[in-house]
Amino acid sequence: MADEQTIDFDTEMVGTIDVPERDRLDLDKLTAWFEEHVDGFQGPISYSKFKGGQSNPTYRIDTPGRSYVLRRQPFGKLLPSAHAVDREHAAMSALGPTGFPVPKTYGLCENPDVIGAKFFVMGLADGRSLWNGALPGIEPEERRAIYNSMIDTMADLHLKNPDEIGLGDYGKPTDYCARQIARWSKQYKLSETEHMPQMERLIEWLPQTIPAQHESSVVHGDYRLDNLIFEHDRPNVLAVLDWELSTLGDPIADFSYLMLNWHNPADGRAGLLGLDLEALGIPTQDEAVDRYVSRTGYPVPPMEWYFAYNLFRLAGIMQGIKKRVIDGTASSSHAKQMSERVGPLVERAYMFAKDAGMDE
């Protein structure tokens, strides 16, 4: 397997492949469902599978007149709240009519008898899929415009009133960070493999120092470059994808997750650390924060606290993977590499917590 540092993600993760045997769908049943539920549908169907590493397998569905995207849960037994394609469908169906850039939704199928799992169908966003945060091959002026569009689009999401767009019951609107810290502290403890004093200190300190949640909004939960599609000929966000982790919560927690890319190493993914941002035309962290704050009207957030929180959350997630690697139940060949990130994530979270005022 290629080293993660050398993978060209723009090549490896963009586009489609022939559908592997294990991911095949019953096209006769699927065609019948389309005929009953999708306005304007005319077959026959041909299909392929998108390369990108989605937790919900995603297919390109082509017909003579139009192309669609089908996103399904994995086949087999699932955890109760995982792979929530119904929530993805609900979020996009509510946001689309407001003018927010999401694909048009055509229907949700909760009957697993059709293809073997729940799925939904949306329109194909015909644009650019970008994975490398350095945006190679793009001029500095356009790079800056792409980043500004990414920030503005997130700000616009956070300004939507959940009650007004039909998402008032999409999640608990308050105490988002407190609930997340409690959740990932518990998950960490359940999968702990070694004693880490810095993690123990974070578990103690973070709940005591949570900043006031100024607003409650729809939060995406995984907003980053490769979950966006950009227009072919303009530096504008055409569509925001992958709403699996979306809920109601603290918009600053959502925004600061995006801003962590300014502190993640430039390895061919979204990280920017170590790049000459000025030469590339990419906004600095301060410029990005100022743009978000001016668009939303929110106060300037205590970014160091939120960085510590987000890295702590990621460490909790990776610790679960590490435990499964040790137990021999991890399903991904990539899992061991990911599991080795726990220690460095905790160290970085601890560093940001000290910057935010934590005593050692």
Say which CATH number the domain at 9 has: 3.30.200.20
DSSP 84-140: -HHHHHHHHHHHGGGT-S-PPEEEEE--TTTTSS-EEEEE---SEE---TT-TTS-H
Is 233 found in the same domain as 211?
Answer: yes
- Structurally, the chain folds into a number of domains equal to 2
Query: Residue 28 falls within a domain, yes or no?
Result: yes
pLDDT digits (tens, 9 = 90+) for 260-282: 999 999 988 899 999 999 999 99
pTM (predicted TM-score): 0.88
Residue where a domain stops, chosen among 70, 100, 124? 124
Find out whether 10 and 272 touch, Cβ atoms under 8 Å. Answer: no
Mean pLDDT of 220-240: 96
Is 263 found in the same domain as 115?
Answer: no
What is the rounded distance in angstroms from the CA atom of residue 358 to the CA atom of residue 154?
Answer: 30
pLDDT of residue 9: 47
Q: CB neighbours (10 Å) of residue 186?
A: 12
Coil vs helix vs strand at 63: coil
* Of 73, 74, 69, 65, nearest in space to 106 by CA: 69
Lowest mean pLDDT among 7-11, 183-187, 201-205: 7-11
DSSP 340: T
pLDDT of residue 321: 78
Q: State residue 216 phi and psi, 5-degree precision.
A: -115, 130
Is 151 found in the same domain as 37?
Answer: no
Find out whether 189 and 218 touch, Cβ atoms under 8 Å. Answer: no
What Cα–Cα distance (Å) separates residue 199 from each residue in 186, 196, 303?
12, 5, 19
Residue where a domain stops, chosen among 124, 153, 182? 124
pLDDT of residue 147: 98
Query: Residue 360 falls within a domain, yes or no?
Result: no
* Of 80, 25, 5, nearest in space to 266 by CA: 5
pLDDT digits (tens, 9 = 90+) for 201-223: 999 999 999 999 989 999 999 99
Is 154 found in the same domain as 84?
Answer: no
Is 140 found in the same domain as 57?
Answer: no
Is 210 found in the same domain as 136?
Answer: yes
Is 147 found in the same domain as 118?
Answer: no
E-state strands within 173-250: 217-219, 228-230, 237-240, 247-249
Is 109 found in the same domain as 139?
Answer: no
Is 149 found in the same domain as 43?
Answer: no
Is residue 217 exposed (0-12), middle (13-18) or buried (19+ Cβ within 10 Å)? buried
Is 134 found in the same domain as 91?
Answer: no
* Of 45, 240, 48, nearest in space to 127 by CA: 240
Q: State residue 278 phi and psi, 5-degree precision.
A: -65, -45
